[in-house]
Structures are given as C-alpha cells and as structure tokens.
Structure 1
Amino acid sequence: MNTNTVIRQSPGFIDKLAYLLPTLEALGPEIGWLPAFQAYVGTGIATGRCKPAFGVEPRFRGSAQLLLPSGAQAFVSYGRKGKKQKRFGIRVECNPGRMTATDVAAVHSFFLGAFGNQYLEMLKAPRIKRLDLAVDIKGLELDDVYVSYAHAQHVTVYGKMLSKARGTVETWSFGSTKSDSTGTLYAKQTERLHQLLKDVAKNGVAGEKLRDNVVRQYLEIESSAPVVRIEVRLRKLSCSVADLADIKNRFLRFIFIEREDTGVLSKLTRLAFRSMCRDIGLKATLDAFKGHPKHKQLVQLSRARPDWWKPKKAWREAIAHPVLTKVFSAPAGVDKKWGSPP
C-alpha cells in the first residue's frame, strides 16, 4: 500500500433496486388491465420511449426497458406467471445510484400515463424485493487488504495471474447464489475495463476515430486511481419502504486486515498468510493460525477497524439515498409526456 495515498470513503448509495407494485388492489385482476398495458408498452416501443427487454424476470410475461434521459437503466416487467403473487403484477428494476431526478420523473410519468391516479395508489404500498447497497473506497488497492464477512459459509476469490510469481485479486465474494444476502468487493477498474471490452466485442472498432477513442478510454482506466466497490446484496426481501430502517446493517459484517499491518509476522510467515487468505479466506486463515505465537495479534487486527472504513455512515447514507426517496414519493407536477391512460 502506498502510504502517501489518501484513502477515502464515498457516500453510501443504492446500486440496484427491485420492487413490486400492488396491481390487484388498485387495478383489479390482470385480465382487466394487462391487455391495455401491453398495448401501452407497444406504443412506447414504437415511439422510441422504451424498448423490448428479454431475460429480465422469468416469472413475468413481458419486460421492457425504459429509455431514461441520463441513459441509466430501468426495467418494467408485467403479467405474473402462475397462480401465486397475483397481487403484484408489475415489477420495476433500476439503479438509483446512477439515476437523476429527471430519470425518476420519467419513471413516474410512464406509469402515470398508463394508470393515472391509480398509480399513485400503488405507490403507497410497494414491496421491495431486492436491494443492493454499496460504497466506494477511493485510493484502496484490493491486494492491500485481507477480507472476511461474518456468517458467510462460502467465499470465492477471483484473480488474475500476472506472472509465475505474482497475481492480483480482482473480486471477493461472500455467500452462495442461494443466500438471502451476499457481500462483495471488487476493483472498479477491472469492471470498467471489462465493460469496455464488451462494448468493443459488440460494436467493433471500425474507423480511426473510434479506435482512438477506445485507446483513450483504456489509458484513462489504466492510469486512474484505484477504487474498491463494497456491496451488500439483499436478494430475497419482501418488505415495505418503512421496513428499510429496520434492516440490520450488513456493512458491519465486513472484517478487514490491512496488509501493511501484518508486519508483525516474519517475511516467510507473512507470505504464507497472504497466500492462505487468497486461497481459503481470512476467517479460515485465522483459524489455521491458532497456536501460532502471533495469532492473538492477528485476531486483534481483525477486530480493529481501518480509519477509512465507516460502515454505519455508509449504511445510513445508502438507506436515505435521495433518489430512493424520490422513487417511492408521490410525484408532484410530473409532465405526462408518456401518454394518456389506456
């Protein structure tokens, strides 16, 4: 770790949100409102206000992506399959962390155009199904910390071999795909580079200007200051907006030991500790070190909290994110540019 680098924590935010609208109570059975809403979405697709989306939510009959002003993504799924959960016939998935107030107004405008004041009634009792809370640690290299996540039974480490003697960690993932919640840390530069390569593979680089632009983006990513994204993904929620304040702070589960603090170990032991952390995780490594003369000091390090890590502040900021508040607030003076109720 470069001791001259200032490490600072960004405000907490919501990276992903999925919620259901109570259509049965406000609109009645699907047979009454779904055909007209499908036609409304079709008109939106024809006029360029939204576009078809596939594979978003398999439990619904159809999905569309709203084309928001900022380019942020928002998906609307409608028509519940099967006989269960017919109370909630519309699902909305979005990324509040990237949305602007204008984007939120566009989402409200879309539903107001479809349902008018009945949408305002649905907005009073949505059910939140997924919530990803995140915070960025700017100036931190993922290789400079060893990480654990309390109560996680599975840990997965993704890395890259740079040479026969050296590799780098790109992602830590805690919890399984079936877990109610998972914790994740990853290097933002790696994510940005992956997205750039995906765009190149999809669109190509025909033309000199386009090639120059890709090279410029690549150089910007490579030269940018390191950023580590820390996320908690709550994937099996079923709560009201008011219940969000009662969700336990999962950021508190993250445990960090900074690599520079392992100087209490000899060089060979320090290398072994690092290798074991990457292989089996920090928690299992600390268990394996029981009986070692430095075990007590290592445990004390794991119980301390780095100066740059403020989990209570990050959680409080994320739950109170202003865009999240606007999503579930009745819109005032929204222009119904999306059309009239069907």
Structure 2
Amino acid sequence: MDANASIPVFPGGYLIGGVLLMNLLAAHATRLKLKWRKSGILLAHAGLILLLLGVLLTDLLSTEGTMRLNVGETRNYSEDFRAVELAITAAATNDSPLVSIPESLVAEQAEISNPGLPVKLRVRSYWPNCELRKPPRARAQSRGAVPGPFAQDLVLPEITRGEFAGVAVKPLAPVTATDLRNEPAAVVEVISRKGSLGAWLVSTAYGAGQSFDLDGVVYELALRYQRHYQPFSVTLLHATHTKYPGTEIARDFRSRVKIQRQDTGEVRESEVYMNAPLRYAGFTFFQYQMAADEKARAASSTLQVVKNPSWVTPYISCALVAAGLLLQFLLHLVGFLVKRRPA
C-alpha cells in the first residue's frame, strides 16, 4: 500500500444540504400538484425546506465564543478560540482595538497598513501553532537558528524588542480536536514614518500584549483570540460548583451574573446553570465550565456565548412538519370514513 495515499474527501454539509434542497424543490415543481388533498405533504415539505435554510443561515450568521470570568470580574466581550486576530490598542481606549487584523492577513506574512493605524505592520514570521521556549543564554545570543540539538525543531527568530527577545519557537502541527487549542505566534515589525521601531513577538499563549511608545502615546500589540463585543457588560457575582460526594460528576454548576447596559441604564441579575441558559439582547449564555485560580482562592466561571439570528427556525420548521403530517393523516382518515359510509 502506498504510504502517501490519502483518503478522498467525503461530501460535506453544504453539498448534502444543497442536494436535499434541490430535490425537494424539484419534487414540488414536477410531481406534487397544488391540490387540497396534498396540502399536508406540501406543508411538511415546506417545514423541511425551512429547516435546511435555517441550518444555512446559522452557519453563515451565527457567532460563538466563551466568556471566562472570575468572581467580581466584568467583561463586555466573548472570545472565539477557533479564530485569531492581531489587535492594536491604545491605553485611552480601554482595551477596545484601534484596528483588528484577521488571521488570514497575518498568515500572508506581508506588510499591513490601515487608515486607522498610526504605523505600518510587517509580519516577519507566523506559526499557526507552536510552543515558546527559552534556550540557554549562550544560544540565545545567536539569530536565525539554534545550534546543537535544538536545530532540528527550534527556531530563534530575530526579536529586537519586548520581553520575548531571545525566546525560541518550536513549530507544531495545527490541531483540530474540539478539546484542544492552537497557540499561534508571530514576529511583527512596527514601522513608523521615521523608520522601524523594532520587532516584537506576540502569542496567544500569553494574555498580555507588547507595548510601544509613539509620539507620547502608548500602544499595545497583541495576537489574541478573536473577540466579539456585546453592547452590555457581564459581571460574575457568585459561582457555585458542587459535585456528587465521592465523584467528579457535576451536581450543580451555577453562575450568578449582573448585566449592565449603559445606553439604556438597565441593570439586572440572573442565574445561568446547566440546561437553563440566559437569553438577552439576541445572545444566549450557557453554563460551560467551572474552575478556580492557581491558588484555589477565587472561583471562576466560563460561559458559552452564542448569537444566532435564526435560532427560532428549527422550532418553526418542526411545527410545520408536525402540522403537515397531522393534516395529511386527517385528510386520509376523513376520506376513508366517507368511502365507508353506506349509500
């Protein structure tokens, strides 16, 4: 057997869903006539078509992320761990990005300019998944490659500024499992009108970004997981994490949160727990995980945040299918009873 042989790609959701949709539409156009006796079938098929369209809209329009909060912490954004962005923020903007650059542009390793940026960014290197390691001091003085046993799997990029100068990068294969995360990193050179300000290494493995000063303003450059901002803030008031005695099975995961909206002045408190999500302003908050900090002093809660404009379509489509099947059954039943009635 050829070691380089690959398994062909199986049909995906778009292909299968498109074929099903075309089949239903073709059946309506060629075989099913607009008759009262077929109204139940037509209604059931309409529900199936709506279900397929709802799945398509969900894939195109929905956003999903997580919001991790310590007790007392407030946030107004969720993070999507399947997407990465390169963000530049200023101290006066309260962590709101001046410009957010998607991963697709960063991966091109080209020069990036934007009217909202006071500088240009030149991506020298990019790794979709990697580990950061500190080589011995003697080896950290070299640039381009790490000699000796490190040469095969470690790279020492040219980093001139920031706290990661001299750090080695070990490239890793990207992961696709849902319980694993990629930790990308990039070496980004900042170029002002006066010339290069230096090259920084940024990585999602470390929460803090790399700062630089330009004309008296401090900016922060960070490679982070893509953020979805909400028009309100969420504060974790209390986290309940109980398990069944003698087991690791969750008994009660519960988060008491406070939602504040500055534009309307609304303040409300609510609880989010297993199988009881919170719906607010088009967003749905699910209880996802519970944890404690490294010293086990403060509990933290992770909420899964989903925004799906077409979330109601499955309920409507299922109701249409059920109503169509019931109507078709009643039509056949009535017709059968009429035929059995003696003349």
Please identify the structure whose Cα radius of gyration is greater: 2
Q: State TM-score, norm by structure 1.
A: 0.23
Q: State TM-score, norm by structure 2.
A: 0.23
Indicate the structure with greater helix content. 1
Indicate the structure with greater strand content. 2
